[in-house]
Amino acid sequence: MKRLISLLAVALGCATAPIDDGRPPDVELDPLVLRVNHGKVEALDAKSAFQAASDAYARAEHEDAARRFDEVARLFPDTRYAPHARYNAGLALLQLTRWKEALVHLIEAEKLLASDADRLDASCQIGLCFERLESWEDLRGAAQRVLDRKKLPVRERVEARARLGIALYQLGDWARAERALEEAVEDHRRNPGVPSLKGNVLVAQAQFLIGEIYRELFRSIRFRLPVESMRRDLNDKSAFFLEAQNAYLGCIRLSAARWSVAAGYRLGELYEGMFDDMMAAEVPADLDEEDRRIYFGELKGYVRPLVERAVDIYERSLSMADRIGGAAEWSEKSRKGLDRMRDILRNEFGREGVLP
C-alpha cells in the first residue's frame, strides 16, 4: 500500500526555543516530517515511526515492518534511529527471504552502527545473505572479516568458521575447507554449555561437508589392475570410506533435521558405492568363462553384506526422516536407494529381506 504521497517539509526543528528563566535550552527534539496521507496532513517523528515499525515486526508483519524501517532510515538519516532502522529492515527482509534487498540494508547498517556488538551482528547477517545467494567468494571474505575480529563470542566464532568452510568447499579448496570445517566442529565440541550452539544448523552442515569431502575422495578411486595397484586402491578407498562414515555419523548425532537425514542417505550411498565399485573392478583378461563365473561367485560372497547394510541404513534413514521431518529431498533419495538395493538383493542374491 502506497501511503506516502508527498513530503511537505523535512527537519522542521531540532531544538526547543529558549525559556524565560534565562538558562540556555538543554533539550533537543528529533526532526519532524510532514506528509500528506489520503488528503490529510500527518506529522511524523523518528521515535514514533521507529516504534511503529518495531510493532509491525513483533506482529510478524515483515513486509510492513521492512517498509516502515526503510522509511525511518530515509526520512531521518541523521538520527540515532537510522542505523538500527537499516539493520532491522534487513532482518525483516531476511524473514521474507529477499536476500539481495536485505544485503543492501545490512551493509549500510554495518557502516553506521555505533557499537561493535551491533556491527558484529550485521556482519554475521551479511554472511547469511551471501550464503543464501550462493555468492561463495563474497561469503569467504565476509566470514574471514568476522574471524579477524578480536574476542569473538563463541557462537559467532563457530558459525563464521563454518561459513568460511562452506565457502571454501564450494570454491573447490577442499584442503582449507576441511581445516575450517574441522575447527568449527571442534570449537562446538569444546563448548557444550553454549545454548545457542545446541542443534546449530551450521555446525551440522559443517560436519556433513567433512563427510562430503571424504566421500568425493572415496568415489575418485576405482579398482584397477595390476593386483598390487588394486591392493593400494582398496586400502586408500577403505580409509576414505571410514573417514566419510565417521563424519556422517557425527552429523546424525547432532540431530539437525535436514542434515541428519542427508547424512543417513549418504551413509547408505557409501555402502552402495563400495558394492558398485567392487563389482566393477577390473578382471584379468586371461580368465575364461568358467574362471569368471567362479570369480564373481566368490566376489558376491564378499559384497553381499554391503548390500544388506545399505538396505538397513536406508530404512533407518527413512524412519528418521518420518520422525523428525523437514528433509523431503533426502528422504526421496533414501527411498530410491532402498528400492535399488532391494532389487539387487532379490535379483543377485535371491532374497528381498533386510537384516533382522
pTM, two decimal places: 0.84
The predicted pLDDT at position 196 comes to 86
120 neighbors 146 (Cβ within 8 angstroms): yes
pLDDT less than 50: residues of the chain: 1-28, 41, 352-356
The predicted pLDDT at position 328 comes to 87
The predicted pLDDT at position 136 comes to 98
The predicted pLDDT at position 9 comes to 26
The predicted pLDDT at position 57 comes to 98
* Domain residue extents for the chain: 226-356
